[in-house]
Structure 1
Amino acid sequence: MVEQQSGTPQLPIVLSGTVPPLAEYYYPRPETGPDLAATMAPGQTVVLVHGEETEAAAAQGGTGKTQLAVQFAHAVWQGRTAEVLVWVTGSSAESVTSGFALAATTVDGSNPGESADDAAARFLAWLTRTRRPWALVIDDVIDLADLGALWSVLPSSGSGSAGRVLITSRLPAASFEGKDVSVIAVPGLSRREALAYLSSRLTDHPDQRIEALDLAEELDRLPLVLAQATAVISARRQSCREYRGLFAERRKHMPAIPGASAPVLAAWSIAVECAHELPPAGLAWPTLVLAAMMDYHGVPGAVLTSPAACSYVTGRPSTAGGADQTAVRGAISNLAAAGLVSIDPGSAVRTVSMHASVAAAVRAWLPQTDLEHVVLSAADALLQTWPETDGGPQLEQALRDCTTALQSGDGALLWKTEAHPLLFRTGLSLENSGLFRAAITYWQSLLSTSTRLLGPGHANSVVARDRLAAAYEAAGLFTEATAVFQAALADRERNQGPEHADTIAARAQLAHAYVSAGRADDAVALYERAVADAERVCGPGHPVTLGARASLAQAYATAGKTSDAISAYDRVLGDSERALGSGHPTTLSARASLAGAYLASGRAKDAIAQLQRALADRERMRGGDHPDTIAARASLASAYRAAGKLKDAIAAYQRVLADRERIEGADHPDTIAARANLAYAYRSAGRLREAIPHYERTLVDRERVQGRDHRDTLIARSNLAACYQQARRLTDAVPQYERALKDSERMLGPGDIETLTTRCNLASAYYTAGRLSDVVVVLQRALTDCERYLGPDHQMTQTVRENLDAATQI
């Protein structure tokens, strides 16, 4: 099933994450597989664990737990028995946090600058308050601690929750004692199920099924092993009797591997042999080895067809041309035909996956002499595939998971001469994904390893230290960040000199940390030094100088030095235009920043002139339909509105809405936001008759696309109520305010500023409608909440107190 990216239009049932496909020959298991879609009730949490009836070790798995979870997810999707479906890989704390953060963005919108940890917490809070039916699947939990705060919000029967949670794990059932969950042990297939499965798969000729039940018993009736055996029998046109003979012989000579049972190993080796024989012959084993070095939950298809991967598989230098990629894809298809991997053609993120026991067997079987070649080839393949910019949360997580799995094999191989660049790309991905706590731990480990192996002055150690400081800063640990940045600056001044480019960059990094810590004056002094040094060493139009001066301008603005900020932005714009041209991204960004500084200082006319020029440049360089051009027009419309030029603002907003609808569709979040902005412009101009239909349409669209419990829906309802009130349509305004207050209290809590504001707005509507007794009741509650949550001296508390005093004297 294809994942839904954040920010894309949402379907009637909202999907977050990537649900794997059902196995091609999935058997529904009427005797040993619970019908979870039919039996799980709202408020229930079910955990699927390994059954005890099989020879296979619990840590190996193979009884079909994940496929039961996949069947449940597909049933929910197809039956529309939930409005929200979330699939999360539970193999690490990082992957759980990332999955929860993606879900928060999908169901509750994105908050700019929010960390993944905060987004994950927001998703868990959403689970506790939403009335929408939802289903959460967490597959392959390895450590219960990785689920974090989920345990405190798990639904329970009788709680009134609309949610269902399904967890799969290879942990023993005893691990879940004390948790409010229903544990179901999943065994191998029953004798009847195993025979039915073999009979349904082996249909070439009747004799093919002779001794089928005996074979099923020898394979421990494990779905994983039965699938591999039937795949081989079909591919080789054998019978169960013939396979039994080969299996018995192979089992006698298979060496033991920890965590894998004898039936699994014997069937695995036969399947590998079969796949390797299929044309293009000789490519299946290296393809399987390469994939097994990475995350068994799924490797992006592009990784396995990259130049490095093609070179490893084919044994010759490759540019990943058509012939080599076709050969590798053929090898992957052969592995799938032999039951060794699964292919999800609908997902570019988790395209090729395998069972954990298959990956473990490959790693154990691989000769030590071959390990370095495959590890470095996999590292190169991942790096070649990794997008230079953000590839989206799910692709980033998949690539990080693959890197983690690669390091678990023999991470020392990635430090043969110095750190492989993949290690730095992985850390940057953690930062860019908002996983700041994980990033700090990662950079600490990388810095420690680099210092131990290469020394503190090596370039790898220096970069790792800089990234650690940046991660501290992003996490809000400003004391730690500035301490590391100060040490880095001192080292560079001592070792490279005060005017070296790296020293200038270190000075700017420390200044940035000062800004983040609220030390704007200290930042200004450092940035002024950095700008002077950069201009002297690199020249006024050099990117280093332009970046330093732009940062100085921002520091001026933060310090309240608006005039200095405008001068600095103006200088950046001039230097950038001369050095790079008017259409360069740096120039366009400088122009937008200058316009923002003009607006902040009240110079709306100057801001509008810059934004008009920016729009003209965007249209000339990229065309009228480019997203950046539409965004530039929206910025100009906002400036018109701020300057009171409402006629111009309305015309610009109308054009933005029309463009959004035509290019992105009526249900795209950007289109809905454009309609809300147009409604606000109409309302600001007093054109309420035109504003109200747009506010009404915005609310309908928000509810349909994002759901009743989305924060944007709450805001849309409050805006509509305010417009109704302004139009004196009080019979319409009051019910909307009352609904908004009820939703805000439930979603955000009574002390949230949004809830307090909505309560006061309801009181205002009651007052306008002449319902004075209701006014007093609502304001009394508002005052109590303001005093409790904001304090008696807060400005809002004082205003509510004054309004209540006035209302009681009427």
Structure 2
Amino acid sequence: MRELERALDGGGTAVLCQVLSGMGGVGKTQLAAHHARRVLAAGGVDLLVWATAATREAVVAAYAQAAAGILYSDPDLPETAAREFLAWLEHRPGPEQRRWMVVLDDVADPADLRGLWPPASPLGRTLVTTRRRDAALTGPGRSLVPVGLFRPVEARAYLAASLAARGRHEPEDELSALAGELGYLPLALSQAAAYLIDSGLDCAAYRALLADRARDLADALPDAGALPDDQAAPLDAAWSLSADRADRLRPYGLARPMLRLAAMLDPNGIPASVLTCGPALTHLADHLADRAAGQAPEQADPPDPPGPPGSPNLSTRRVTAEDAVGALRALHRLSLIDHSPGTPRRAVRVHQLIQRIARDSLGPGRRDALARTAADALMAAWPEVERDTALAQALRANTDALARYAGEALYRPETHPLLFRSGRSLGNAGQVAAALVHFQHLADSVGARFGPDHPDTLNARHRLAHWHGMAGKVEYAQTALTGILADYLRVLGPDHPGTLGVRHNLARWRGAAGDTTGARSAFAELFTDRLRIIGPDHPDTLATRHELARLRGRTGDHAGAIATFTDLLADCLRLLDPDHPRTLAARHELARWRGASGDISGARAAFAELLTDRLRIIGPDHPDTLATRHELAHLRGKAGDRAGAVDTFTGLLTDYLTVLGPDHPGTLGVRHNLARWRGAAGDPAAAVAALTGLLTDRLQILGPHHPSIAATRTDLAYWRGRAEADGLRVPRQPPAPRAEARDPDSR
């Protein structure tokens, strides 16, 4: 503590980064929190950011959240927002100087901080807690502060003070002996003090229980000498006694199975809905039923303790969400978890050491079953429409943590759907590059385990090809899907839902590649097959009708597209929720083709209404919301307000860059239309400059054969001709390989 205070009082000459290093459970986080509170109370900083740093993604997410609060950055593009936050920290002293402190708590791997260290600034302080002692954590500008175990006198004083606060007093020799048996580890001492206070036992009786339980665990654990963080066995015993005590609290017998479920998830925050949903409740009820039936588990727990006389037997009734919350409160009471009901997205936090001990108390079979239960719970808590982006981010973090702990469990007997759902969530949030990395890893993992013809392997390859297309690699997606379709037909047959899904996406990317006629023919054949196999009211059939209607408009039949989308919207409203993504997509396309047919005012009104609904349902940063704003910006120019269109597209481009990044096809499309409207607003030279840069970027990102390349070259030639006709000098480029001019009004 004194070292940290000296750093604080030293001003600009002090070391600006302190690294608290020590084994799990010594109190590094509590020390950092105490120091941060003192700094705040002393008025030493204007901004304090606390980032859980167990993974790189967690650090990036914390920085992105900070950027959202102070810079109005969008946390849904976390890497970009994090860079903006770090740049903000580098401001130099001045009349509006801002003092800051960043706490990076529980750094698991120094490599995760590459490019994420806060800058050295006389206005800033960085505080790191970690179990690591790597050289990468020290160096110029960083000071390593070792945090060890309590000394014997400190351990005894801690126990005495904790008990005295509740009117309890124990002999000093008993307290000293207990502290020694617990290895002077603060976390173990904290659990022991909580147990003594809650149970009413004296210190001698608790030591006797601890000795008995330590012997039991030593016999039960597969390798009692290989405990986490070099801990001694009595810490396991202290955890087990605390879990027993929590099981004696209402609702009786549920604390231990709840703790084990939480041990499979993200220590930095588990959504409340995950631990109170159906699969979690079934897990709790099954635990009680097995105990009541006297079934011997693969690796025996100590017998469940009885509740107080007259307490209800939960094995005879249904376990409710209220019971699950009660179990969380019991664990919180015994200092086994932190339960914060007021923050439901990160309601439960568990020390990683407690998680490790809880998992290690299970045999492999039970641990694997628990991993799949945790995966089922995450799936049950995951909404189909991700309205809450912070919740989706927390669910993805919990999925990543579970995947690290579960090993092979999520691939037996087949790949758990959670691994596919997490990747889809990344892509739908606009993180297309991350989705590609996710599905590439999944395809490699599944293929290595099950072989190339397993349905899970085919599904992973399908998802990977789809997100390549979403990233703008249209030609690659089309080629990949052609091969995948052949494999689906050979392995699963023509009528399998997966085969139909691949045909749908292959037709979609054929159309995106410019083969509108071929895409229409493919979708027409698919529609006939889907009517035969799944009927007219299935959502997949509606999706195929959607694509056929859209292609009808692209061939110039705007009236036919309007009529088809009008019928499709009516069916979506009849069969699906008004807020369903398919319903919103039909409304989007209907408004679009109304505008293309010349009904500008009607289209603007429809898009304005749709934007209001999308803001309510999926928020301002969802890619679909941005697409609706894109259409409104274009229609503003079509209505005659070309300068207004330029202003709207300029603001929209900023949001696309923040949410989707500079390489996303949607961002490139906004740049293209912004350039067109600049030319239409009377600045053809600006249009030429913008399109020249866009052509270079599209060639690099999308490749020379992407359909947008020809459109960019055509517009560049058109606006260069307009600029030269006005007597302006602009750089010369090769002529466009396409004859039609592209004034914005022709869109």
| TM-score w.r.t. length of structure 2 | 0.65
**Does residue 1:466 correspond to 2:387, yes or no?**
no
Of 275, 280, 283, the match for 1:305: 280
Distance 1:237 1:651, change over 3 A: same
Correspondences of 1:402-551 after superposition (within 5 Å):
402-407=402-407, 414=409, 419-421=412-414, 425-426=418-419, 429-430=422-423, 433=426, 434-437=434-437, 439-441=439-441, 443-445=443-445, 447-449=447-449, 462-463=454-455, 465-466=457-458, 469-470=461-462, 473=465, 517-518=475-476, 547=501, 550-551=504-505
Distance 1:84 1:803, change over 3 A: farther
Q: Secondary structure at the residue paired with 2:542?
A: helix
Deviation at 1:323, TM superposition (A): 3.4
**Does residue 1:143 correspond to 2:109, yes or no?**
yes
- C-alpha distance in 1, partners of 2:370/2:337? 20
Check the 8 A contact 1:614/1:632 in 2, yes or no: yes
Of 633, 642, 645, the match for 2:596: 642
Aligned match of 1:260 = 231
Aligned match of 1:172 = 133
Q: Secondary structure at the residue paired with 2:319?
A: helix
Distance 1:677 1:754, change over 3 A: closer
Correspondences of 1:41-60 after superposition (within 5 Å):
46=17, 48-51=19-22, 58=23, 60=24
Q: Secondary structure at the residue paired with 1:305?
A: helix
Aligned match of 2:297 = none
Aligned match of 1:237 = 200
Deviation at 1:228, TM superposition (A): 1.3
Correspondences of 1:568-583 after superposition (within 5 Å):
568-573=522-527, 576=530, 582-583=536-537
- C-alpha distance in 2, partners of 1:588/1:612? 13
- The C-alpha deviation readout for 1:164-207, integer Å capped at 9, x for no partner, is 76543210163413476454444567978995896477533264
- C-alpha distance in 1, partners of 2:75/2:552? 28
Check the 8 A contact 1:595/1:610 in 2, yes or no: yes
Deviation at 1:398, TM superposition (A): 0.8
Of 162, 166, 170, the match for 1:204: 166
Distance 1:215 1:345, change over 3 A: farther
**Does residue 1:554 correspond to 2:508, yes or no?**
yes
Aligned match of 2:567 = 613
Aligned match of 1:17 = none
Deviation at 1:557, TM superposition (A): 2.1
Segments of 5+ residues of structure 2 without an aligned counterpart are 92-97, 219-223, 294-313, 387-391, 427-433, 700-708, 731-747
Letter in 1 for 2:395: L
Q: Secondary structure at the residue paired with 2:115?
A: helix
Aligned match of 1:806 = 727
**Does residue 1:323 correspond to 2:319, yes or no?**
yes
- C-alpha distance in 2, partners of 1:524/1:172? 51
Deviation at 1:649, TM superposition (A): 1.3
Deviation at 1:260, TM superposition (A): 0.6
**Does residue 1:154 correspond to 2:114, yes or no?**
no
Aligned match of 2:305 = none
The 10-residue stretch of structure 1 (175-184 or 671-680) with the greater mean CA deviation from structure 2: 671-680
Distance 1:468 1:166, change over 3 A: farther
- C-alpha distance in 1, partners of 2:356/2:490? 55
Aligned match of 2:517 = 563
Distance 1:575 1:667, change over 3 A: closer
Deviation at 1:616, TM superposition (A): 2.4
- C-alpha distance in 1, partners of 2:623/2:424? 26
Check the 8 A contact 1:48/1:186 in 2, yes or no: no
Letter in 1 for 2:32: L
Aligned match of 2:399 = 399
Of 652, 655, 663, the match for 1:712: 655
Check the 8 A contact 1:86/1:136 in 2, yes or no: yes
Aligned match of 1:271 = 242
Deviation at 1:514, TM superposition (A): 14
Q: Secondary structure at the residue paired with 2:454?
A: helix
Check the 8 A contact 2:162/2:193 in 1, yes or no: no
Deviation at 1:757, TM superposition (A): 9.8
- C-alpha distance in 1, partners of 2:355/2:467? 35
Letter in 2 for 1:806: G
Residue-pair matches, total: 651
Deviation at 1:210, TM superposition (A): 7.4
Deviation at 1:636, TM superposition (A): 1.7
- C-alpha distance in 1, partners of 2:545/2:695? 44
Aligned match of 2:548 = 594
Check the 8 A contact 1:293/1:375 in 2, yes or no: no
Letter in 2 for 1:143: D
Check the 8 A contact 2:475/2:513 in 1, yes or no: no
Of 3, 26, 33, the match for 1:62: 26
The 10-residue stretch of structure 1 (102-111 or 119-128) with the greater mean CA deviation from structure 2: 102-111
Aligned match of 2:375 = 382
Q: Secondary structure at the residue paired with 1:140?
A: strand
Distance 1:780 1:607, change over 3 A: closer
- C-alpha distance in 1, partners of 2:696/2:641? 39
Distance 1:217 1:546, change over 3 A: closer
- C-alpha distance in 2, partners of 1:103/1:365? 38
Please give the root-mean-square deviation of Cα atoms over the aligned residues, in Å. Answer: 6.3
Distance 1:581 1:420, change over 3 A: closer
Check the 8 A contact 2:285/2:319 in 1, yes or no: no
Deviation at 1:352, TM superposition (A): 4.2
- The C-alpha deviation readout for 1:570-627, integer Å capped at 9, x for no partner, is 4544665576555432232122212221232222222222222222223344465666
Letter in 2 for 1:64: K
- C-alpha distance in 2, partners of 1:570/1:101? 45
Deviation at 1:684, TM superposition (A): 2.0
Letter in 1 for 2:655: D
Deviation at 1:311, TM superposition (A): 0.9
Deviation at 1:302, TM superposition (A): 3.8
Distance 1:347 1:463, change over 3 A: farther
Check the 8 A contact 2:503/2:526 in 1, yes or no: yes
Q: Matched residues, percent identical?
A: 23
Check the 8 A contact 1:608/1:636 in 2, yes or no: yes
Segments of 5+ residues of structure 1 without an aligned counterpart are 1-29, 52-57, 112-118, 451-455, 479-511, 703-709, 717-743, 769-774
Check the 8 A contact 2:254/2:284 in 1, yes or no: no
Distance 1:195 1:253, change over 3 A: same
Aligned match of 1:12 = none
Letter in 1 for 2:394: Q
Distance 1:31 1:669, change over 3 A: farther
Deviation at 1:151, TM superposition (A): 2.0
- C-alpha distance in 2, partners of 1:712/1:581? 40
